[in-house]
Amino acid sequence: MNFNLKIVKIDTEYCDYLRGFDNRVSYNKDNKELRPFVGVLFKIKNILYFAPLSSPKPKHIKMKNTLDFYKIDDGKLGAVNFNNMIPVRDNNFIEIDLNKKCHNISDRKYQKLLIEQLTWLNEHSIQLKKKSYNLYKLYINKKLPKSLINRCCNFKLLEEKCALYNKEKVLN
């Protein structure tokens, strides 16, 4: 079944919280400037997961798709980093409005890239879902090589911490 993916931005406070339990949770910082933590949203076993998107880099063209890395349009549009996917709830992210009017060239270029990434990912959503679930399943069942395990977030631990974080948010 084909489904519509969403491009979302993750709450920095939530990422910081998860990083307290797993240092493989990606940072929102790139050098000195803050960048939005943007990625694609999908479900694994009825749990919402966020997988970060990477902007296109020359190295992506030469890299191969792997269990935890998925090139978008052969790397021309960047990549999805499944090893850094994290569980989320509705209040941990905001959907990016890709129809919003941009007031400068830089923002328009970035918006165009996000639209192209989302279009391509929706066209390949079945493969995306299979790759994410396959990595998740192999990780949970401890069937990955140690080098790959060391690159992946601890999905089960983060699912527990996600539930706890959001429960505490509701109580406060």
Q: Is the pLDDT of residue 68 over 90?
A: yes
Ranges of each domain in the chain: 6-171
Q: What Å distances lie between residue 119 and 6, 98, 106, 109, 152, CA to CA?
A: 10, 11, 20, 15, 26
Location of structure tokens 């996917």: 85
Q: What Å distances lie between residue 92 and 7, 44, 66, 111, 127, CA to CA?
A: 13, 17, 28, 21, 25
Rounded Cα distance, 88 and 102, in Å = 28
* pLDDT value at residue 4: 81
Rounded Cα distance, 136 and 112, in Å = 30
Residue 132 dihedral angles phi and psi, to the nearest 5°: -65, -45
- Mean pLDDT over 90-106 rounds to 90
> CB of 148 within 8 A of CB of 8?
no
Closest CA to 97 of 106, 85, 110: 110
First and final C-alpha spacing in the chain? 38
* pLDDT value at residue 74: 96
* pLDDT value at residue 82: 96
* pLDDT value at residue 36: 60
Rounded Cα distance, 134 and 123, in Å = 19
* pLDDT value at residue 31: 39
What is the enclosing helix (H) or strand (E) of 108? Answer: helix 105-123
- Mean pLDDT over 38-66 rounds to 91
* pLDDT value at residue 172: 62
Location of structure tokens 């923002």: 107
- Mean pLDDT over 2-14 rounds to 82
More confident residue, 122 or 38: 122
6-171 CATH, one of 3.10.450.40, 3.30.1950.10, 1.20.1440.230, 3.10.129.130 = 3.10.129.130
Biggest alpha carbon distance in the chain? 48
Q: Is the pLDDT of residue 2 over 50?
A: no
Q: In the structure encoding, which two tokens stand for residue 130, read together?
A: 């299979």
Instruction: State the Cα angle at 51 between 32 and 90, rounded to 5°.
Output: 100
